[in-house]
């Protein structure tokens, strides 16, 4: 499954970054407990048919989670964003032969909360990854 391969490749690339270490997940449902952390998930896809092939551009969302004192929240999120950007833009193919391009699309404003024992924040970084598959199958 090409889309799954992309998600796995991104998870691998983001594992071991200085700020988030091994706290890298593919999780849409459950709350994270080990922080700071990164979560990888995908969003909408746009397909463009070119002859017998399709260029499929999928939104990849990188959720950055952190828990820190109020004065350290922004610093932590900025570090995570910098490390994620460098890791994903180092190779536009993400090491996969069928990936054509990787483009950063931006980031949401940080959402901060004081409802926990330590302030928490989440920010979402969005990338567009374009990959190619056949007109008849998402897998070839």
Partner 1 sequence: MTLNDSLKALSAEFLSSDFPGYAVGVAGGREYSGIFKKAYVETNRIAGTRPLFQIVETDQLSEGDVITIESRAYTIRVIENDGAGMALLILEE
Site string for partner 1, 34-53 (x = CB under 8 A): -x------------------
Q: How many residues bind partner 1 (CB under 8 A)?
A: 19
Select the residue interacting with partner 1 from 18, 44, 117, 137 (CB under 8 A). 117
| CA separation for the pair 114, 120 (Å, rounded) | 7
Please give the structure tokens belonging to residue 137: 């199958």
Neighbours of 7 (CB within 10 A): 19
| CA separation for the pair 2, 5 (Å, rounded) | 5
The stretch near partner 1 (CB under 8 A) out of 3-11, 31-39, 43-51, 53-61 is 31-39
Asked if residues 67 and 118 have their Cβ atoms less than 8 Å apart, the reply is yes
119 binds partner 1 (CB under 8 A): yes
Based on CB atoms, which residue is closest to partner 1, 65 or 127? Answer: 65
The residue count of the chain comes to 140
Backbone angles phi, psi at 19, to 5 degrees: -85, -40
Residue 31: CB minimum distance to partner 1, A: 4
Applying CB under 8 A, the residues found at the interface with partner 1 are 31-33, 35, 63, 65, 67, 69, 111, 113-122
């Amino acid at each position: 499954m090409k889309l799954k391969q992309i998600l796995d490749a991104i998870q691998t690339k983001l594992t071991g970054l200085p700020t988030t270490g091994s706290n890298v997940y593919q999780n849409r449902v459950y709350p994270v407990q080990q922080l700071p952390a990164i979560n990888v998930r995908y969003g909408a896809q746009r397909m463009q048919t070119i002859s017998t092939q399709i260029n499929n551009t999928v939104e990849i969302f990188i959720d950055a989670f952190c828990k820190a004192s109020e004065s350290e929240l922004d610093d932590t999120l900025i570090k995570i964003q910098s490390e994620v950007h460098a890791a994903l833009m180092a190779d536009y193919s993400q090491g996969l032969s069928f990936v054509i391009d990787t483009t950063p699309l931006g980031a949401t404003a940080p959402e901060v909360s004081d409802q926990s024992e330590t302030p928490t924040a989440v920010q979402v970084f969005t990338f567009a990854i374009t990959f190619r598959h056949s007109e008849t199958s998402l897998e070839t």
